[in-house]
Structure 1
Amino acid sequence: MTTNAVALTRLLLAERASLVRLVQRIVGSVPAAEDVTQSLWFRVQQVEDDPPISNKRAYLFRLATNLAVDRAKAERRHDALFEDGPLSEDVADESPLAERMLLDREALGLVQSAVRELSPRCRTILHMRRVEGLTASEIASRLGISRQMVTRYIAQAMAHCLDRLDTDE
């Protein structure tokens, strides 16, 4: 991991609450803000050392703002495209093609396999977050661990699953 990435990761962990509040004001909900903050963690891991970042806090908050704005725009586009309205008889068949279904099943199998490879604690936390929809704070209080540890477990699980998907391609 680069020096910038390490410093930004530490800063993200220290400023996480402030970042979630900032992002929440932009995207409008705590769950969406938590998701954007997780995406921010992945983005920070990719930051290179060249050029060096002189004001890491400003960089981190700008990156969070940009991700939040992108998320809000995507949600508005989605809402505009899929708002309820009269359906036309001319609409093409929306059922997925056989090839798409096969690829999706294969990807699902890879993700399921990757999840089975996780430690029981990591798997439990991922399930609570992604399936049950609990916040990091709720998970932390249920399991008696810190919210920061929950975030680390989720990041570890997501990185592992993404790694398994990437190695298959």
Structure 2
Amino acid sequence: MALRGHSSSALLELYLERRADLVRFFTIRLRSVAAAEDLVQDIYVRLSCLDDHTEIQNPTAYLYRLGSNLMLDRLRGERRTAHRDGAWLDSQTVRIGNEEISAEPSAEAAVAARQRLALLTAAIQDLNPQTQRIFRMHKFEGLSHPQVAAALGISRSAVEKHMMAALKHLLARLP
């Protein structure tokens, strides 16, 4: 039986007659009633968008072919998504053997780091202003000893002495 002219409405009627059969057919293939229901609903959406002048030689076969194509598209999409998500997870995960290691520090490590930072900040604030300025420029801004000396208009030797005094002070204050 070929459908011509108002084939869209005749095809929708056939769909409604065969809907339960379509759900059973795709439930077996997808192993899920919910997935089959979604797929059969997608068939309806596609049918409702068909041009009325489309000629279909075998409407029943067309319904099953349309459903099979939609199912394959969905499965390919799920496979691509799983592959992409797996690749992202692998790029974000550190493993030692089969053991997954968290890249995030533990809560205890984070608290200990904050405490050490607070002690370091307090110890730096105890330095005299010139030593503090030199220490910050060298350690935090990344300037070399000659660059710090040039910026402050002092000798390189003076920068080295201030840095040694700062490091001695910090070692004495920090556990």
TM-score (norm 1): 0.46
Larger radius of gyration, structure 1 or 2?
Answer: 2
Q: Using CA pairs below 8 Å that are at least 6 residues apart, which structure has the higher relative contact order? A: 1
| TM-score of the superposed pair, with normalisation by structure 2 | 0.45
